[in-house]
């Protein structure tokens, strides 16, 4: 009888802690969803009622995992792209990439989300939530849902450190060591690298703060008319967010100072996979006695879109390798394919990289795949194209676990030299295993860390006390410029008075000496 009562009490306690959570992750890129997916599923697994606004639907969700589908479209379909293939974006500067892709794509995808039939139907219902979680990826209008449901806001970035968020919350910028989002800086510590970082940080922030957020607020007024209040500020919503979860970890990423409500959860999607490989892949990986080179450019970039010359360079170099090559190739046919090359339109990347016979990962440098390689101790050759990819591969090169091969430099000679360097120099594998060990050395797993802090915010009703009080101060006051100016004035006044006193004293002495000389002469 006591046991039954105890069980009932535990169930009641568990029920009392159950929360209604809105998880807003509409962006259609599969890489984003791979990172964010485990969070929603784990919240549901722990008993919370989770409603997910998403492009990607789970086939057999738990009863407490409710899905609201966003119209299926990729960002590239929503922007006027005159750059040719996505590979051509390798030639865009960070500023050009923002104006051609980030800003128009973010606005178009936000509107697509709010205008999706299921989302519109959902927003008309009378729902209540204890927490609203939004992905932080230029879809700030969706933060307004925290106002609609009068719930704390938590933000999750699929990227790492965010300069815009640092500026508004007064988190230290550390511009000498921490690179701005999407900015390629080839020598970050140099004078010109630091100057470039400062310029772009200011450039992006000003555009975002004084133009882009205004466009997002227009979408709020259009699709959430009940919130069309002139006082609603998306800037203030993000500035006052209860929690910011970022996809980084100091064991690999640049160490940074963080406020208590900015938490690193790098690699939250990477676990010891229980999924089994398809039989043909398992057999291929097991029987490749010289190991396997795995190549994939992720979900946005298609290897099949490579220019013919670069495609030939890869094929000609691959056939010279003793290793088996497994290549994510998005078409059924690849002409002149050598015997040691196997292709697949879609490959289970986490399970492949986890196989002990993987000797090298050739990647575009997307953060999700990079972290999977780090977790499994696999060396890297990175061919960055856009966004944060160059900085991700630069970290790998600086750590000694990989090499950068610039897209425009790809030819048979450079490709052969780079692959042979990483495959045949044991230092890369040794460093990769060292990085793997320290990446995993944490008090809690990234997923447990994430769930703890999300539930912490719910338990503490937004945890207002964790937020930096400096966020409500002007930059002038926060930087102590008024105090320094006052001290400067005091110093100048004191120096001026002292100088005047000395001059007066010296002048008086000269006059007194002159008078004495006159008296002696008389």
Average confidence (pLDDT) over 104-125: 96
Residue with more model confidence, 185 or 380: 380
Buried b (16+ CB within 10 A) or exposed e, 113-139: bbebeebeebbeeeeebbbbbbbbbbb
Same domain assignment for residues 265 and 310? no
Residue 364 lies in domain: 279-440
Contacts of residue 444, Cβ cutoff 8 Å, sequence gap at least 6: 452
Same domain assignment for residues 243 and 373? no
pLDDT at 1 over 70: no
Same domain assignment for residues 434 and 450? no
The whole-angstrom separation of Cα 238 and Cα 168 is: 8
pLDDT at residue 15 in the model: 43
User: Contact, 450 vs 35, CB < 8 A?
Assistant: no
Same domain assignment for residues 138 and 198? yes
Banded pLDDT at 125 (limits 50, 70, 90): very high
pLDDT at residue 475 in the model: 84
How many helices (H) and strands (E) the chain has is answered by: 21, 13
User: Contact, 400 vs 427, CB < 8 A?
Assistant: yes
**DSSP helix/strand/coil, 7:** helix
pLDDT at residue 302 in the model: 87
Banded pLDDT at 208 (limits 50, 70, 90): very high
Nearest to 319 by CA among 389, 419, 170: 419
Same domain assignment for residues 309 and 369? yes
User: Contact, 305 vs 86, CB < 8 A?
Assistant: yes
DSSP string, 171-226: ----TTTSPPTT---SSTTSHHHHHHHHHHHHHHHHHIIIIIHHHHHHHHHHH-GG
Report the number of distinct structural domains present in the chain. Answer: 3
Give the tens place of pLDDT for each residue, 66-96. Answer: 999 999 988 888 887 655 678 888 888 999 9
Nearest to 398 by CA among 187, 178, 163, 176: 187
Banded pLDDT at 276 (limits 50, 70, 90): confident
Specify the pairing of strand 292-296 against strand 262-264: unpaired
Q: Is residue 6, in this structure, part of any structural domain at all?
A: no
Q: Is residue 137, in this structure, part of any structural domain at all?
A: yes
Give the tens place of pLDDT for each residue, 448-474. Answer: 999 999 999 999 999 999 999 999 998
The whole-angstrom separation of Cα 334 and Cα 336 is: 7
Same domain assignment for residues 465 and 485? no
Residue with more model confidence, 156 or 519: 156
Average confidence (pLDDT) over 348-369: 94
Buried b (16+ CB within 10 A) or exposed e, 467-488: bbeebeeeeeeeeeeeeeeeee
pLDDT at residue 273 in the model: 66
Q: Is residue 516, in this structure, part of any structural domain at all?
A: no
Residue 35: CATH number of its domain: 3.40.50.2000
Same domain assignment for residues 30 and 136? yes
Give the tens place of pLDDT for each residue, 223-254. Answer: 999 887 767 899 999 999 999 999 999 999 99
Same domain assignment for residues 192 and 86? yes
Same domain assignment for residues 318 and 266? no
User: In this structure, how many other beta carbons lie within 10 angstroms of the beta carbon of residue 178?
Assistant: 20
Same domain assignment for residues 489 and 428? no
Banded pLDDT at 11 (limits 50, 70, 90): very low
pLDDT at residue 7 in the model: 40
The whole-angstrom separation of Cα 238 and Cα 134 is: 10
Measure the CA angle with vertex 95, ends 92 and 97; round to 5°: 50
The whole-angstrom separation of Cα 309 and Cα 316 is: 11
Give the tens place of pLDDT for each residue, 311-334. Answer: 999 999 999 999 999 999 998 888
- Say which DSSP state 278 is in: P
Domain boundary among 394, 425, 440: 440
Same domain assignment for residues 198 and 181? yes
Q: How far is CA 7 from CA 2, 10, 14, 183, in A?
A: 9, 5, 10, 55
* Average predicted confidence (pLDDT) for the chain: 90
User: Contact, 135 vs 246, CB < 8 A?
Assistant: no
pLDDT at residue 517 in the model: 61
Share of the chain above pLDDT 70, in %: 93
Contacts of residue 383, Cβ cutoff 8 Å, sequence gap at least 6: 297, 362, 363, 364, 365, 405, 406, 407, 410
Nearest to 167 by CA among 108, 111, 210, 127: 210
User: Contact, 89 vs 390, CB < 8 A?
Assistant: no
Please give the radius of gyration of the chain, using alpha carbons only, rounded to the nearest integer.
29
């Amino acid at each position: 009888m006591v046991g039954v009562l105890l069980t009932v009490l535990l169930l009641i306690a568990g029920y009392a802690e159950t929360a209604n959570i809105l998880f807003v992750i509409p962006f259609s890129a599969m890489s984003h969803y791979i990172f964010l997916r485990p969070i929603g599923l784990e919240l549901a697994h722990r008993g919370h009622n989770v409603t997910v606004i998403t492009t990607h639907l789970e086939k057999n969700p738990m009863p407490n995992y409710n899905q609201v589908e966003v119209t299926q479209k990729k960002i590239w379909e929503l922007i006027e792209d005159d750059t040719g293939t996505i590979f051509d974006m390798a030639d865009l500067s960070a500023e050009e990439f923002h104006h051609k892709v980030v800003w128009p794509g973010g606005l178009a995808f936000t509107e697509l989300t709010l205008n999706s039939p299921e989302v519109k139907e959902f927003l008309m219902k009378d729902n209540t939530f204890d927490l609203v979680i939004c992905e932080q990826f230029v879809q700030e209008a969706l933060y307004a849902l925290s106002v609609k449901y009068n719930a704390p806001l938590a933000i999750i970035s699929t990227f790492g450190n965010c300069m815009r968020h640092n500026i508004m919350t007064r988190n230290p910028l550390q511009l000498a060591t921490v690179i701005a989002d999407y900015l390629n800086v080839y020598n970050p510590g140099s004078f010109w690298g630091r100057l470039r970082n400062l310029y772009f940080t200011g450039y992006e922030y000003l555009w975002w703060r004084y133009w882009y957020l205004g466009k997002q607020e227009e979408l709020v007024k259009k699709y959430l008319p009940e919130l069309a209040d002139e006082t609603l500020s998306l800037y203030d919503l993000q500035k006052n967010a209860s929690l910011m979860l970022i996809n980084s970890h100091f064991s690999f990423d640049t160490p940074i100072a963080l406020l208590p409500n900015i938490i690193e959860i790098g690699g939250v999607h990477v676990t010891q996979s229980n999924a089994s490989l398809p039989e043909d892949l398992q057999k291929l990986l097991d029987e490749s006695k010289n190991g396997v080179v795995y190549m994939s450019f992720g979900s946005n970039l298609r290897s099949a879109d490579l220019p013919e010359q670069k495609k030939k360079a890869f094929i000609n170099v691959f056939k010279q390798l003793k290793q088996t090559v497994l290549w994510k190739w998005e078409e059924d046919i690849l002409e002149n394919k050598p015997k040691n090359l196997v292709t697949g339109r879609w490959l289970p990347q986490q399970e492949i990289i986890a196989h002990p016979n993987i000797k090298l990962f050739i990647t575009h440098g997307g953060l999700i795949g990079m972290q999977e390689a780090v977790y499994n101790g696999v060396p890297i050759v990175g061919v960055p194209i856009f966004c944060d990819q160059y900085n991700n591969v630069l970290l790998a090169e600086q750590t000694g676990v990989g090499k950068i091969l610039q897209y425009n430099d790809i030819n048979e000679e450079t490709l052969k030299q780079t692959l042979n360097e990483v495959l045949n120099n044991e230092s890369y594998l040794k460093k990769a295993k060292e990085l793997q060990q320290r990446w995993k050395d944490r008090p809690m797993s990234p997923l447990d860390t994430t769930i703890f802090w999300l539930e912490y915010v719910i338990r503490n009703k937004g945890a207002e006390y964790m937020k930096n009080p400096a966020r409500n101060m002007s930059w002038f006051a926060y930087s102590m410029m008024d105090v320094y100016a006052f001290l400067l004035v005091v110093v100048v006044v004191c120096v001026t008075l002292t100088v005047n006193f000395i001059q007066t004293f010296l002048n008086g002495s000269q006059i007194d000496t002159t008078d004495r000389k006159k008296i002696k002469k008389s």
